Amino acid sequence: MRCQNNHYLTSVATPLGLFHIYSAGEFIKRIFLPGAAPDVPFETEFVQDLAPEHPLTEAVKLIKRWLDGKDVRITACFQTEGTAFQREVWSALAKLPRGEVVSYSRLAQMIGKPGAARAVGQAMAANPIPLLIPCHRVIAADGSIGGFGGREELKRQMLALEGVIIK
C-alpha cells in the first residue's frame, strides 16, 4: 500500500496510556506519548484497523516490542525533521541501549559539544519520535529524573519498564 500524500493517525493502548502515531505519505513522522494531544494536520484520517503494509503498522510493532522488553531502533519508514544539531543529538541518543541512562551534559560530550547540555535538553523537547529516540533515558547530571515535558511520572514509569529506578 503506497500512501502517497495522505496523513494518517492511529492509537496504541498500553499500560502507560495511549500512544498516538502520525504518518504523512509513506513515512512515520511523530509518536505522541500518553497524555499528549496529537497535533496533526486537519486532513489527517484516523485509522483503527491497519493493513500489514500500512506505514503505521511498523511503529505499532515497535511500541509493542518495547513494551515486551526488547530494544527498538529507528527503521527506514521513519522520517524526522530538525536542525543539524538536533539530528546529531537524536542519532547519538538512538544508539543508547535499553536500560541505560545518560545525563544531558554527557550526551553533549558524546557528540563533541561539551557545554551544550541546555541545547541537548531543547533537542529532547523537540524529539518527534520518543521511544525510538529514547529521550526518557536522559537524566539530570545529579542523577535526578530531569525534565520530561511536565510528565515526570510517565518518565519514571518508562524507565522502570527498562529496569531503571530513579529516586
Residues serving a catalytic function are 135
CA–CA gap between residue 48 and residue 8 (Å, rounded)? 10
Helix 117-125, helix 84-94: angle, nearest 10: 80
Q: What are phi and psi of 20, to 5 degrees?
A: -110, 140
Helices (H), the chain: 55-67, 84-94, 104-110, 117-125, 152-161
Element (H, E) at 84: helix 84-94
Among residues 104, 89, 94, the alpha carbon closest in space to that of 143 is found at 104
